[in-house]
Amino acid sequence: MIPAPVPAPPKMRTMAGLIDGGIVLGYVVVLGMVIAIVFPMLTGPTPLWVGIMLAMLFIEVPVGVWWVRQESLTGTTIGKRFEGLRVVRMGTDEAASLPRCVVRVVTQILPWAIVHILILVASDPDYSDHWYWSVPLMTLVGAIGVISILIAYFRIDHRTGYDLIAGTQVVLA
């Protein structure tokens, strides 16, 4: 009989997330400079909404595809591999399927994409009269994303909100 997989401790998940986040941050800085400096040189002044939409298109979508590809093919991301972790289907030792990985990553990234759109609404002069609802909504959506992660610290199986939705679990490899 195969022993049940051991849930990854929150500290290890946090370190893996920081490693993956650092990689994404490096990508964001480089791409952000291109969007903020090179793009306006080619097209002229860029409205804020164009910059945010470009950032979503060239940051959140590629990062999401990259994470889905890594998790569905190898069960890990670079950070998880470094920490000796992998993503499995809940209750089994089987690798998470592509659809589960897609659901996991979309629910992981979605709050931050919504926050970016709400930043656009709150900061664009054309929408400045809508700040009174967009800022509280941005805070609420951001809090949902943070709570989804913090749930892992209080659950015995250390699953996040997006693991619960996708039916996955991060375990020791």
pLDDT in tens, 71-121: 999 999 999 999 999 999 998 889 999 999 999 999 999 888 888 778 777
Q: How far apart are CA 49 and CA 112, in angstroms?
A: 16
Tokens standing for residue 147: 């709570």
| 117 within some domain | yes
| 5 within some domain | no
| 153 within some domain | yes
Residue showing tokens 């793009």: 39
The structural domain count of the chain equals 1
| 55 within some domain | yes
| 1 within some domain | no
Over residues 23-47, the pLDDT tens digits come to 999 998 888 787 778 777 877 777 7
| 3 within some domain | no
Q: How far apart are CA 14 and CA 75, in angstroms?
A: 17
Helix, coil or strand: residue 117: helix
* pTM of this prediction exceeds 0.75: yes
Query: The domain containing residue 41 runs over which residues?
Result: 10-172
Contact between 167 and 100 under an 8 Å Cβ cutoff? The reply is yes
